[in-house]
A and B are shown apart, each in its own frame.
Chain A
């Protein structure tokens, strides 16, 4: 017994080091896993408050830019409004109401990151504003990320510029599907992989979110095709997508909730379960 205590006392620093190293390594490995969200995030009251304060100062520096972006969006929406036909003149065409059931929450990016391989940014709305994990985040130009962690008033969002980011996307022109990922190299480009070979792809075609996505509504813009490669191993196309958003400067964003998401997931799970049993 005495010897055990002696040993513990003599090596107390080493043991403390190993303990702390163990804890931090666990946190690190956990954060790299696809299926578990991180334990330590900036979605909490302390860092949220600090970043909000910093953001109020920084906001003044790019006020003009933000105003222009919002004015541009207004102009686009006005164009849509003015070009809509008068409802009294149009024949009563019944638009099916079950096209989707989406809610939109306005929010603001208070911290952005684009310098590492797994980037997250923080927005200033959280559970109290109705934000939940796995909601989509878009700006006026297109997709920017998916909510990962939430706290009372803040949420962290997994950015397109993250090796863990995956999203169903399609070529707008011909509806061929692929998966949008990022290779960690350039902040202006993402990659659309696994596009079938029979798809006709052309430089300049628009990439939008696909109908398979349970997070985003269909047809939200992502970017345009910049280069086309053929993956030698899989014989699928890999498309270099030039993003519409400048991911290095994000301001106002909208968080999209798909109210039918749980229902869809539950239904799909039930289906796969029954087919497995048979």
Chain B
């Protein structure tokens, strides 16, 4: 399931989302859903390694050096902290499922994760202090775009139990 998600999100990202160029500069990055949807109690080392690989693959396709890899690895490492922040201390004992109905907790978790990822991504991609304003604007706009897409995708792939 995880491998399938990895390949599917990577393919969608590379073939469709990275080529959108809305208004000439906006590209959403919904591929980070892989990191967000990774099982809560899954293997941590596995998550770190697969996130690194995912970021590196996106870097390879979009010629962005190693920026996506840095952002992905950091997000994967900070994920437990964000869980704690959004769902409370006892998140590990509950069955936290991200891809269920959108509650405020889930929303805040996804939002924090996306902001973190995009901020690191754009800081490293631009890499110049003189353009810091540009970094912030891009982070804000892309976050909105990615967030919308992520929520749509989560609703689409919601397991059809009923």
Contacts and interface: CB of A to CB of B under 8 A. Distances in A.
Contacts of B15: 50, 54
A44 interface: yes
Interface in B36-81: 44-45, 48-49, 52, 55-56, 59-67, 69-70, 73-74, 76-77
A116 B131 contact: no
Contacts of A40: 56, 59-60, 65-66
Contact of B48 (A16, A25, A117): A16
Nearest to A24: B69
Interface in B118-143: 124-128, 131, 134
Contact of B66 (A16, A17, A27, A156): A27
Nearest to A58: B19
B66 A25 contact: yes
A202 interface: no
B14 interface: yes
Interface residues of B, number: 37
A47 B24 contact: no
A38 interface: yes
B4 interface: no
A117 B123 CA distance: 11
Contacts of A111: 19
Contacts of A47: 14, 60-61
B45 A187 contact: no
A74 interface: no
B63 A26 contact: no
Interface in A227-244: none
Given A27-B69, A28-B65, A20 B44 contact: no
27 contacts: A13-B48, A16-B45, A16-B48, A17-B48, A20-B48, A20-B73, A21-B73, A23-B69, A24-B70, A25-B70, A27-B59, A27-B69, A28-B67, A28-B70, A32-B127, A40-B59, A40-B65, A42-B60, A42-B62, A50-B61, A114-B24, A115-B24, A117-B126, A117-B128, A117-B131, A118-B64, A163-B128
